[in-house]
Structure 1
Amino acid sequence: MTLNDDSFTDWKNREEIAESMIPMIGKLHRERDVTILLHSRSLVNKSVVSILKTHRFARQIAGEELSVTETLPYLEALTSLDLGPSQIDLGILAESHRADDRGLSVRDFTAEAVAGATGANKIDRREPRDVVLYGFGRIGRLVARLLIEKSGSGNGLRLRAIVVRGGGEQDLVKRASLLRRDSVHGQFQGTITVDEANSRIIANGNEITVIYANDPSEVDYTAYGIDNAILIDNTGKWRDREGLSQHLRPGVDKVVLTAPGKGDVPNIVHGVNHDTVKPDERILSCASCTTNAIVPPLKAMADEYGVLRGHVETVHSFTNDQNLLDNYHKADRRGRSAPLNMVITETGAASAVAKALPDLDAPITGSSIRVPVPDVSIAILSLRLGRETDREEVLEYLRGVSLTSPLRRQIDFTTAPDAVSMDFIGSRHASIIDAGATKVDGDNAILYLWYDNEFGYSCQVVRVVQHVSGVEYPTFPATSA
């Protein structure tokens, strides 16, 4: 047998194993509300090849590929347990077991590691929480995709309605088409039909009512059977408490803004300060995509090395706020053609750091350049540290943060030497540290942080909504804070 035959046989064996994992992962999700992860990446509703690619990607984080032959026994052990709603990371489970020197079997170690989700420790399955999207643009449609994707268990968040201004002929069909196909993020994973008679879009069985209104005051959500809902404002039209309070109509309990909040509106970056949200807070902001990209690695560096000062330079993809061709715009430079120019503009991300990291006693400045790409940006974070270090130490530390820390859902890590912006479309992390570009000289460090300013940010929004709605389930094995 040739080497090629050996490689192909190994591939087919791994395909067979991955195929056997799919029904186990699906059954745990549907029947017990358990989400199986691999290094913070969900394996629910993933194909055979996607599962294998996710395992292979582990080599960029842990330094070596994780094989399905290693993770299958842990998944099989989980199916035999009396699990309650939770998220369980097979990658961390396998790594923790390897580091354990007690000689426990896979079954015994797994049972111990997820004990907080079994037996008397199980939490109750949550009743579905209604969600309304106010605005259905770039972020609104991606948040809709995520909410529909996560509705498979029948619990958690349930997208009930979207609110838009009245359109022209075939408005409902056109909005459904924009949800179905996206030039950047590809096809919707599932089926979409339109019920024009009842003004509904039906996506993967989720009946979503399209409400036409020009103003929040025009809508009584209880008339649509919506109650105690979380409304996500994707328009950015109102950013202070007074304006956003207009959404607190019958049927709406909380309002979440997908733009930086002004005044006393809390700016929340999931993973960093989401646990500071008070239960009675009814209005909050998810800050900006750039704030979400820089705050988690900034916190990680401040925790380990201290940060005396910093500057962030954002090279940002163009957005719908800019013009396709030169035209009037209230901002000085954003009126110039977005696909043809690099455009110097402002960013509020640096000032927003103070809201998300109030204990960081360091001045952070920032600026931004919009460039002719449709999605994925990079933030160059230049820091003066509290102590001297070297590049190897910083990279090893950040690799560990991305793998096992409480920030592992926010911070990703890549060692790919040829990585470019398109490689990160669809990333679910708030930012991805580019190891090859990182520079460290004594107490100076420069981090290059890729981020999908559309999809990665939308994932952060959904995480905040899950948290404030009470449907964010604990992750096992637990990691140290």
Structure 2
Amino acid sequence: MNDFAARRDDWKAREELAERMIPLIGGLNRDRDVVTSLHGHRLLGLSTTEILEVHERVEGLGHGELALEETLAVLEALRELRPSAASLDVARLVESARDSGDLREHLRAELAPALGDGETGPTEPTDVVLYGFGRIGRLLARILIAHTGGGSGLRLRAIVVRKGSDNDLVKRASLLLRDSVHGRFEGTVEVDEENAQLIANGTRIQVIYSNDPATIDYTAYGIHDAIVVDNTGRWRDEAGLSRHLLSTGVARVLLTAPGKGDLKNIVHGINHDTIAPSDRILSAASCTTNAITPVLKAVDEAYGIVRGHVETVHSFTNDQNLIDNFHSGDRRGRSAVLNMVITETGAAKAVARALPELAGKLTGSAIRVPTPDVSLAVLHLTLERPAEKAEINDYLRRVSLHSKLRQQIDYVESPEVVSTDFVGSHRAGIVDGLATIANGTDVILYVWYDNEFGYSSQVIRVLEVMAGSHPVVLPVRREVTLHG
């Protein structure tokens, strides 16, 4: 057999293994609310080729070879063990199981928190209402629909908007179905004009038209004890957001913008454990705050941060003008697609609301640039202890793979990556290791972030905590220290 034929046969064999994984991955999510990943890179919804690609990617992050046969064996065992709702890192399960004599018995021990008697069924879902249906609202809808799974956790029930035209429903459906940045919705979106509903992959979403959050009776649509996600940004303090609580059927409110006054600003992975049942209104902070706070926490724990400056190179937003026109904000009236625009950011101060130990230590500024999505935070830090580039990079790489912040921080080393390579990232921020600069106690870190999808993923995690449905993350994460 010549070399070409051998390579072709090997590829076909790998494809066959990946194809066998797809129904296992889907079934675990659909029947058991289990989300599977390889070192944090999700498998759910991937094609055959994408499954092969993600195996190669995790190897490129410094891991040893992850054989497709090993991944398949763990997935088959998981189907038999029937864990309850959980986020399972299959790669780490593979690694820990290599020296075990019995794969299934090993997995029983590793997954004990999610097994119980093995017959735990879905819990009662929590109703979610999206107040506003813009960039973040539509991405939240996509994620919620994709996470419907076995019926527990979060259930998208309605969106609330102001009616824009006679064919408003059709236009809303089209915007959900097609996105110039994030691509086509994975599935189908239909319109039920008679009942004013969108039907996305079988999920019926009530469309409610209203200009005042205090006037809606959600129970008339069968919605009870709902969490309302306000992604309009119109109200940011407790007084304004409290109007949602005047509506019948609403239990709690989550704002997808920095909250003002005494509102708790939550960055999942940092201070989500401070959410109390009595907190009826919360903020999920900003995309930039979510991107940089986990990295800052990791660095502060290992090296100590004396002071720092955060410069964000941020994609333009809907608040800016396409062409020069009047705008109440400084400089934002100039064309967003033609200019770099210096503007303010509250992200540096907002970090302290989630990470009080950094209060007063950070300053920040921002430059809006002519790209539609994915931004970059440049962290100029003065540390208590000196750092070498290889050392701090290795530490952050291990944090991204093994620590309690692995859902928030990703790490990449490639001389070819650019902003569009991070569109659709589930992580809050991605450290670009090759760009790191370290000179004694002076360090500069570059952190990419999908300011739309990465942030939306963080919002979903906060929602899951509020609903008491955030899945257990297994295997148990170990603490990562500076020297491993």
TM-score (norm 2): 0.96
Going from structure 1 to structure 2, the CA distance change for 1:367 and 1:193 (only over 3 Å counts) comes to same
Q: Compare 84-93 and 398-407 and name the one that shifted more.
A: 84-93
Q: 1:24, CA displacement in angstroms?
A: 1.6
Q: What is the identity, as a one-letter code, of the residue corresponding to 2:187? A: G
Q: 1:274, CA displacement in angstroms?
A: 0.6
2:10 counterpart of 1:13: no
Q: What is the identity, as a one-letter code, of the residue corresponding to 2:130? A: L
Say if 1:74 and 1:90, in contact at 8 Å, map to a contact too: yes
Say if 1:384 and 1:444, in contact at 8 Å, map to a contact too: yes
Matches within 5 A, 1:422-461: 422-461=420-459
2:129 counterpart of 1:132: yes
Q: 1:123, CA displacement in angstroms?
A: 6.1
Aligned-pair Cα RMSD in Å:
1.5
Matches within 5 A, 1:271-290: 271-290=269-288
Q: What is the identity, as a one-letter code, of the residue corresponding to 1:440? A: A
Q: What is the identity, as a one-letter code, of the residue corresponding to 2:441? A: D
Q: Compare 396-405 and 116-125 and name the one that shifted more.
A: 116-125
State the distance in 2 between where 1:40 and 1:60 align. 14
Q: What is the identity, as a one-letter code, of the residue corresponding to 2:205? A: I
SS of alignment partner, residue 197 of structure 1: coil
SS of alignment partner, residue 256 of structure 1: strand
Say if 2:178 and 2:185, in contact at 8 Å, map to a contact too: yes
Q: 1:82, CA displacement in angstroms?
A: 4.2
Q: What is the identity, as a one-letter code, of the residue corresponding to 1:261? A: G
**1:42 aligned partner:** 42
SS of alignment partner, residue 359 of structure 1: helix
Pick one of 122, 147, 153 that aligns with 1:156: 153
SS of alignment partner, residue 335 of structure 1: coil
2:263 counterpart of 1:265: yes
Q: 1:476, CA displacement in angstroms?
A: 1.1
Q: 1:97, CA displacement in angstroms?
A: 3.4
Q: 1:361, CA displacement in angstroms?
A: 5.3
State the distance in 2 between where 1:306 and 1:292 align. 20
Q: 1:120, CA displacement in angstroms?
A: 4.3
1:376-406 CA-to-partner distances (Å, cap 9, x unmatched) read 0000011111211211111111110111111
Going from structure 1 to structure 2, the CA distance change for 1:444 and 1:97 (only over 3 Å counts) comes to farther
State the distance in 2 between where 1:4 and 1:379 align. 45
State the distance in 2 between where 1:265 and 1:30 align. 36
**2:183 aligned partner:** 186
1:252-296 CA-to-partner distances (Å, cap 9, x unmatched) read 111000000001111001111111111210100010000011001
**1:240 aligned partner:** 237
Q: 1:121, CA displacement in angstroms?
A: 8.4
**1:325 aligned partner:** 323
Say if 2:122 and 2:150, in contact at 8 Å, map to a contact too: no
Instruction: Give the 4+ runs in structure 1 shifted more than 6 A.
Output: none
Q: What is the identity, as a one-letter code, of the residue corresponding to 1:5? A: A
Q: 1:471, CA displacement in angstroms?
A: 1.1
Say if 1:60 and 1:414, in contact at 8 Å, map to a contact too: no
Say if 2:349 and 2:359, in contact at 8 Å, map to a contact too: no
SS of alignment partner, residue 368 of structure 2: strand
**1:217 aligned partner:** 214
**1:197 aligned partner:** 194
Structure 1: stretches of 5+ with no match in the other structure = none
State the distance in 2 between where 1:417 and 1:70 align. 31
**1:292 aligned partner:** 290
1:180-215 CA-to-partner distances (Å, cap 9, x unmatched) read 101111100000100011110000000001100011
Matches within 5 A, 1:55-454: 55-98=55-98, 103-120=100-117, 125-248=122-245, 249-360=247-358, 363-454=361-452
State the distance in 2 between where 1:239 and 1:121 align. 44
Structure 2: stretches of 5+ with no match in the other structure = 480-484
State the distance in 2 between where 1:177 and 1:370 align. 28
Say if 1:308 and 1:362, in contact at 8 Å, map to a contact too: no
State the distance in 1 between where 2:88 and 2:119 align. 13
State the distance in 1 between where 2:379 and 2:289 align. 12
1:321-371 CA-to-partner distances (Å, cap 9, x unmatched) read 000001111111000000000000000100101101013356111000000
Q: Compare 424-433 and 50-59 and name the one that shifted more.
A: 50-59
State the distance in 2 between where 1:7 and 1:154 align. 43
Say if 1:166 and 1:214, in contact at 8 Å, map to a contact too: no
Q: 1:78, CA displacement in angstroms?
A: 1.6
Say if 2:81 and 2:118, in contact at 8 Å, map to a contact too: no
TM-score (norm 1): 0.96
Say if 1:412 and 1:431, in contact at 8 Å, map to a contact too: yes
Q: What is the identity, as a one-letter code, of the residue corresponding to 1:418? A: E
Say if 2:32 and 2:149, in contact at 8 Å, map to a contact too: no
Say if 1:56 and 1:67, in contact at 8 Å, map to a contact too: no
State the distance in 2 between where 1:174 and 1:84 align. 38
Going from structure 1 to structure 2, the CA distance change for 1:200 and 1:312 (only over 3 Å counts) comes to same
Q: 1:226, CA displacement in angstroms?
A: 0.5
State the distance in 2 between where 1:362 and 1:245 align. 30
1:138-161 CA-to-partner distances (Å, cap 9, x unmatched) read 110111111011113222111110
Q: What is the identity, as a one-letter code, of the residue corresponding to 1:42? A: R
